[in-house]
Amino acid sequence: MKKISIFLIALALLGCQATSTEVEPVFTSEAIEITPDELSNYWVPKSTKVKMLKKRPTWLPKGKGEWTVLTVIDSNGYVVKKTLISSVPEGFMTQSKIDEMPNTKFIPAPSNNKRTPVKFLSTAKIVPRSEL
């Protein structure tokens, strides 16, 4: 009976250790502002494997438009913040759709020994196939 009680207590304690999908940001220094072209000097994607999707993601808006996002990568290579800056036309992209987008894990570039956190503005555009 005592062994069963200890097992149940241990199981309960393990169950209380729920893992969180939210990453606690770590900054070894102030995040520096860079351009998207400079990103590879600081961080490179952990995986460059292209994932083929079977259907259109729910976060991807339909129609024609563009949006700008401020992205912050911390010292551990995690995207810790994505903030919608602008959307044309208004409402084409929303912050809730930005939050649904998958995050990429990054590893430091060889030149980024200090694991410098970065922030940058990036713009995405969707146009009909006929306009490509």
Residue 92 lies in a domain: yes
For residue range 74-129, list pLDDT tens digits in order: 999 999 999 999 999 999 999 999 999 998 999 999 999 999 999 999 999 999 88
Residue 1 lies in a domain: no
Q: Compute the distance between CA of residue 3 and CA of residue 26 in angstroms, rounded to an integer.
A: 41
Q: Compute the distance between CA of residue 2 and CA of residue 4 in angstroms, rounded to an integer.
A: 5
Q: Using the CB atoms, write b or e for 100-128: b if 16+ within 10 Å.
A: eeeebebebeeebeebbbbbbeeeeeeee
Residue 59 lies in a domain: yes
Higher pLDDT, 38 or 14: 38
CATH at 106: 3.30.2420
Does residue 9 register a pLDDT over 50?
no
Average pLDDT score, the chain? 85
For residue range 35-45, list pLDDT tens digits in order: 999 999 999 99
Residue 33 lies in a domain: yes
Residue 3 lies in a domain: no
Reported as a pLDDT band with limits 50, 70 and 90, residue 21 is low
Residue 4 lies in a domain: no
Structural domain boundaries, residue 78: 23-131
Number of domains in the chain: 1
Residue 104 lies in a domain: yes
Residue 119 lies in a domain: yes
| Bridge pairing between strands 118-126 and 32-34 | parallel
Per-residue pLDDT, 52: 84
DSSP letter string over 101-112? SPPPPEEE-TT-
